Structure 1
Amino acid sequence: MCMKTNKLRRRLEEQLKRDNRTITFDQEKEEMRFENSDTKKGVTVTLGGILAKFEGNVEKAAEETMYYVNEALNAFDGSGKKEEKEKRIYPVIRAASFPKEAEEGVPFFYDNHTAETRIYYAVDLGTTYRLIDEKLMTKEKWTAGQIREIARFNLRSLPLEMKQDTVAGNIFYFLNSNDGYDSSRILNDRFLKEMSEKVEGDMTVSVPHGDVLIIGDIRNVTGYDILAQMAMSFFAAGRVPITALSFIYEEGQLEPIFIMAQSRPQKD
């Protein structure tokens, strides 16, 4: 068995393991069987075929398979009902250069956000999520307005615990809960407004990658240089990079800024 097949098998076993599930593997056929332990209903996947479909990319193969298996088993145990799915819809921030359609050519449902970012919408599956496309919207009979409203409502229920650091007289707040929606908190208008009332200097907001949101209370020129270096460092290290640029938050609006060394920023 090739290394990639082994890696995919281990990844699926780790991510899809549940108390009410039975997972078996047929080494000769390179097939995995996932069953609901109560109903004995399940789904079988061929690892070699999945890897071939994604040209050996284990991460993409695992993501696709996890979605497929979860959807199938949820349908068997009744937890895949439309109402349950709606409770798991969230907005996700991506770079403006992110693809507008899935590999199959089906357009994603998205909204423009800033010159640097775009808002996509996803159904959370626990260990991963599926971006909502037009095919899924048609299947679930969701309208654009419904998705936006549900996603914003669910977003407001996510925790907002932040860590604080002071550097050269400037205060930086970091939100890094690793729930997959850290950068999405930039869409929580109430949260940003509350932070703006707390900030004494210039308020900046940064989403260098999907798993972090940084709010800056910039009180001197040095703070902008620190912010630029910080955002670039996070951007380079992120699993899902978004933008190395930061935003000035003023009167409820976000404006991308270019930070010039030893000077105040210039708006894009």
Structure 2
Amino acid sequence: MKMDSRKMRKELESRLGNESRSISYDREKDQLRIENTRSGKGITVSLSGIVAKWHSEKEKAIDEVVYYIEEGLKAMDDTVQLTEHEKKIFPVIRSTSFPAEAEEGVPFLYEEHTAETRIYYAYDLGNTYRLIDSRIMKKEGWDEARVKEIALFNVRSLSTTLKEDNVAGNMFYFLNTKDGYDASRILNKVFLSDIQKKITGTMAVAVPHQDVLIIADIQNDTGYDVLAQMTMGFFANGPVPITALSFLYEDGNLEPIFILGKNRR
């Protein structure tokens, strides 16, 4: 079977269409928009990107995008109540190219993290979450400091069980619970500090997408190359890509590293 934008459009319309939604297609941009007819809120997806992913992952690519659209639309409809639900507030890591505001022009609450990443704040809805924006905070009477403090406290309560792998004398540790906050663990300073005590070489970390955190104990040049390939692989196939760059970690500071073959800077 050959997949193209027309067939993908029909497949998504079939799986996502119902009486409470409107679906429109922008031929020039090759984008499909799915909207809640009551609220006017919706999600726009690029068909070309999904088609490209389909050629390597087949039905999994469609299942994945349908899941994220369904959960995203659900998140837009859910009422967010911060007060008395403080345990549902968490930080999430995003790339610096991620939108600074919701579609309707309401600014998200976020802060700069590194040259490659930002910290946004989310309200957990179970299978998904909704990013906290200025409208939500105003309605609840909360300020930025309160949201940030609670979110950073909550991220420390998340599990930090690691899987490990030894490649050419370098140790790689993976946190991949797929709870939506794996990359957020990079903000758990106590956790990273404890890991650093075990590192005998150079400590590097990576957050290629939201559902993985990689920590590396680099012992030789091959370790840098493996980390670069590994990070790019996760970045290319992740549900919410963040950055293909890795970071050197030292005393709580993150410094992006650029790895080109055997050359590093």
Give the TM interval when normalised to the shorter protein: 0.7 to 0.9
2:143 matches 1:143: yes
CA gap of 1:127–1:105, structure 2 versus 1, over 3 A, is same
In the alignment, residue 83 of structure 2 is paired with which amino acid?
K
Pairing of 1:1-268 with structure 2 (within 5 A) = 4=12, 6-8=14-16, 30-31=18-19, 46-48=20-22, 50=35, 53=40, 54=42, 62-71=70-79, 82-84=83-85, 86-263=86-263, 265-266=264-265
The unaligned stretches of length 5 or more in structure 2 are 1-9, 24-34, 46-65
Give the Cα separation in 2 of the matches to 1:125 and 1:136. Answer: 15
| Whole-angstrom CA distance in 2 between matches of 1:61 and 1:224 | 36
Cα deviation for residue 261 of structure 1 reads: 1.6
Alignment partners' CA distance in 1, 2:244 and 2:259: 11
Aligned length: 222
CA distance in 1, matches of 2:184, 2:82: 25
Kindly state the Cα deviation for residue 47 of structure 1 after the two structures are TM-superposed.
2.7
**Residues 262 and 56 (structure 1 numbering): CA distance in 2 closer, same or farther, change over 3 Å?**
closer
Q: Percent identity?
A: 55
What secondary structure does 2:191 align onto?
A: helix
Query: Structure 1 stretch 251-260 or stretch 210-219: which is displaced more?
Result: 251-260
CA distance in 2: counterparts of 1:248 and 1:56, whole angstroms = 35
Q: Per-residue deviation at 1:70?
A: 4.0
Q: CA-to-partner distance for each residue in 1:98-135, whole Å, 9 max, x for gaps?
A: 11011001111101000000000000000111001100
Task: Give the C-alpha shift of residue 259 in structure 1.
Answer: 1.2
Counterpart CA distance in 2 for 1:187 and 1:236 is: 23
Please tell me whether the aligned partners of residues 88 and 123 of structure 2 are also in contact (alpha carbons under 8 angstroms).
Answer: yes
Aligned-partner Cα distance in 2 for 1:89–1:259: 35
Please give the alpha-carbon distance, in whole angstroms, between the structure 1 residues aligned to 2:233 and 2:222: 17
**1:164-201 Cα deviation digits (max 9, x unpaired):** 00000000000000000000000000011001001110
What CA distance in whole angstroms lies between the structure 1 residues aligned with 2:43 and 2:210?
A: 25
Gaps of 5+ in 1: 10-29, 32-45, 75-79
Question: SS of the residue aligned with 2:230?
Answer: helix
Is the 8 Å Cα contact of residues 176 and 212 (structure 1) preserved in structure 2?
Answer: yes
Contact 2:43 2:72 in 1 (8 A): no
- What residue identity is the alignment partner of 2:75? Y
TM-superposed CA distance for 1:8, in Å, is 2.8
Residue 207 of structure 1 aligns to which amino acid in structure 2?
V
CA drift at 1:262: 1.7
Residue 140 of structure 1 and its aligned partner are, at CA, apart by 1.1
TM-score w.r.t. the length of structure 1 is 0.76
For residues 60 and 178 of structure 1, the distance between their equivalents in structure 2, rounded to whole angstroms, comes to 13
Note if contact 2:82-2:140 (Cα within 8 Å) is conserved in structure 1. no
CA distance in 1, matches of 2:129, 2:43: 21
* Distance 1:173-1:133 versus aligned 2 partners, 3 A rule: same
SS in 2 for 1:48: strand
Q: Which amino acid aligns with 1:47?
A: R
In structure 1, distance between residues paired with 2:44 and 2:113: 34
Paired residues of 2:163 and 2:174 also in contact (CA < 8 A): yes
CA distance in 2, matches of 1:177, 1:70: 24
**Conservation of the 8 A alpha-carbon contact between 1:5 and 1:48:** no
- Three-state SS of the structure 1 residue aligned to 2:22 is helix
Partner of 1:38: none
Alignment RMSD: 2.2
Aligned residue type for 2:16:
L
Mark the structure with the bigger radius of gyration: 1
